[in-house]
Structure 1
Amino acid sequence: MGLRLRRNIPIFIMFAPVILFYLIFKYLPMLGVVIAFKDYNFIQGIMNSPWVGWKHFRVLFDNPQSLEIIRNTFVLGLLTVLIGFPFPIILAILLNEVRRMWFKRIVQTLVYLPHFFSWVIVGGVVLTLFSQESGIVNHLLMRVTGEAYPFLYKSGSWIVIFLGSGIWKETGFAAIIYLAALSSIDTSLYEAAGIDGANKWKQIIHITIPGIASTIIIMFILSIGNVLEVGFDKVFVLQNPVVSSVSEVISTYIYRIGIEGAQFSFTSALGLFESVVGLVLVLLANRTARKFGQGLW
């Protein structure tokens, strides 16, 4: 045991920064969750602020605006998962079928590139396309119909633009995981299926998708856990007061009320609620997947 420990010392040294990172930036900040059960103020600090128990949680669930924000977050997060989740899989399968390497490299570069844009840039692109006054799309609509359409000021079209911009930005990068999974499928299976008369569609249905099913399920479980983590930046750069009834989510509400309004305890309670719901969703998704022998643990 001692000899094995000494042999693995270099590995432990390399792993030490990872452990420190998670301890300092992930686990240690969890102690601050106690703020949700106190009336926190800067003068008294975390330890000396008065304990109020479940007060902020009662306020959270008694406040109609808070419930609306939780609903908005859940709806946008669920739509992002259900609508956006299949696109990386489809893209990876399509890229896997391309035989011209030069064409495949060009397409991969083009679809990976948006991931490295900040949401500020993406917001600028959306405004350039869909702005009511100067957007390219409305310029074309004006020529055809004679009037512009307020894409960013209608709830339905805003949600479509929000989902579409997210898919455009992240699909290419997310497809990398599925491309890696596809590379592990034995090519002789395709050759055997082709000899038996199976076309490309049947090969995808009976070989490709079953071959990456475990990866798909793992990624879906992880995505389910992020349903309430819609993200601050992508909502903040696209939202406006006109569509606040559908665009105000937990992250932007925490920014406005918690940081700008200095209601740290209340927004900590909201953040804790978000984390607990995410954990429950992950456990439920994993339990369902285990029934089909594909659980994450």
Structure 2
Amino acid sequence: MKQAVAPNNKRAASTTDDIQGLRRARVLGRLRKDKWMYVLLTPGLLYFIIFKYVPMWGVLLAFKNYQPFLGFWKSDWVGLEHFRIFFENPEFFMLLRNTLLLSFYNLVFFFPAPIILALLLNEIRINVYKRTIQTLIYVPHFISLVIVASLTYVFLTTEGGLVNEIIQQYTGAKINFLASPDWFRPMIIIQTMWKECGFGTIIFLAALAGVDVEQYEASIMDGANRLRQMWHITLPSIRSTIIILLILRMGDILDNGFEQIFLMRNPLNREVAEVFDTYVYLMGITQGAFSYSTAVGLFKSIVGVILVLGANWTAKRFGQSGIY
């Protein structure tokens, strides 16, 4: 009986070795065939490893009482103490409210803007006009936020600002836009729309380029006008792109952008301008609370991941394509 089993075992082992050998040969063949593609991939891969994955060890600071003179490893382990302090801080709800409100306004006003602009650009049939308009609306994306904040100051300041001079001519009074808490959020949303709306149309225009032209021709034969074509053909054709970008946007719901908020905030509008990003800078850089600020940043990242996964799950439940 043993003599009958042994050849079978040898045969099975030989078959397994042959399969593994074929797999190795295929992998090596693909590597040799696409070697230059992998060489081109190397800089991007190194970038993510060095600047994205290696710094993840820094999140351990959120669970330590980091002291620079003791170093990273010798600092005391405190567990979730910094998170408890943060959640019990009276400013927590102010930060959460300000961050969520800005993100909500961005979703309501800014997110649909590139879609609408792309639909309007798609309706322009004269290529010269279309390309000229595209170039003009792309330019603000390449302007630094420092320049954007400076232009905002020049236009809205009460000391000779163009907008306030016009308002004064008609009403006899000036509005202190830059220091008013009521005007802070509208200013941020308008800045974001002016700077990024045009550049955001690139993805949607690329999606619109893949819409089947025959569908438009068939709808014309059925008597559909431009508006009905847009509603029944164009929008459904780019629905998957819109959903994917919306899911990715949900991950940034607690990320309002540090630079823009920091440049526009001041002591008079701090109650509506302070968000998680500026708070991390305030506590970590200016006050030296490295572990505490790391805990705040980690909390923000975890919430972003949960929102992305939740949005993706919801999209799948409704039969739409997600990010995975």
Shift of 1:10: 2.5
Instruction: Give yes or no for contact 1:224–1:282 (8 Å, CA) kept in 2.
Output: yes
Instruction: Give yes or no for contact 2:240–2:320 (8 Å, CA) kept in 1.
Output: no
Q: Percent identity between the aligned chains?
A: 43
AA aligned to 1:125 is L
- 1:42 corresponds in structure 2 to 68
- 2:206 corresponds in structure 1 to 180
AA aligned to 1:140 is I
Shift of 1:155: 2.0
Whether 2:177 is the aligned partner of 1:151: answer: yes
Among 139, 152, 170, which residue is 1:113 paired with?
139
Whole-angstrom CA distance in 2 between matches of 1:244 and 1:100: 48
Q: Secondary structure at 1:242's aligned position in 2?
A: coil
Q: Which runs of 4+ in 1 moved over 3 A?
A: none
Among 165, 168, 177, which residue is 2:191 paired with?
165
Shift of 1:254: 1.2
- 2:321 corresponds in structure 1 to 294
Whole-angstrom CA distance in 2 between matches of 1:155 and 1:167: 20
Shift of 1:256: 1.5
| Structural RMSD (CA) | 1.1
AA aligned to 2:210 is S
Whole-angstrom CA distance in 2 between matches of 1:216 and 1:185: 14
- 1:138 corresponds in structure 2 to 164
AA aligned to 1:71 is R
- 1:283 corresponds in structure 2 to 309
AA aligned to 2:228 is K
- 2:288 corresponds in structure 1 to 262
Structure possessing the higher relative contact order (Cα contacts under 8 Å, 6 or more residues apart): 1
- Normalised to the residue count of structure 1, the TM-score between the two structures is 0.97
Deviations along 1:112-167, whole A, 9 cap, x unmatched? 01000111110011112211222111101111010001222222222111101101
Whether 2:102 is the aligned partner of 1:95: answer: no
Q: Which has the larger radius of gyration?
A: 2
Instruction: Give yes or no for contact 1:60–1:67 (8 Å, CA) kept in 2.
Output: no
Whole-angstrom CA distance in 1 between matches of 2:190 and 2:209: 28
Q: Secondary structure at 1:148's aligned position in 2?
A: coil
What are the ranges of 5 or more consecutive residues in structure 1 without an aligned counterpart?
Answer: none
Whole-angstrom CA distance in 2 between matches of 1:180 and 1:221: 19
Whether 2:232 is the aligned partner of 1:206: answer: yes
The number of aligned residues is 297
AA aligned to 2:174 is A
- Normalised to the residue count of structure 2, the TM-score between the two structures is 0.89
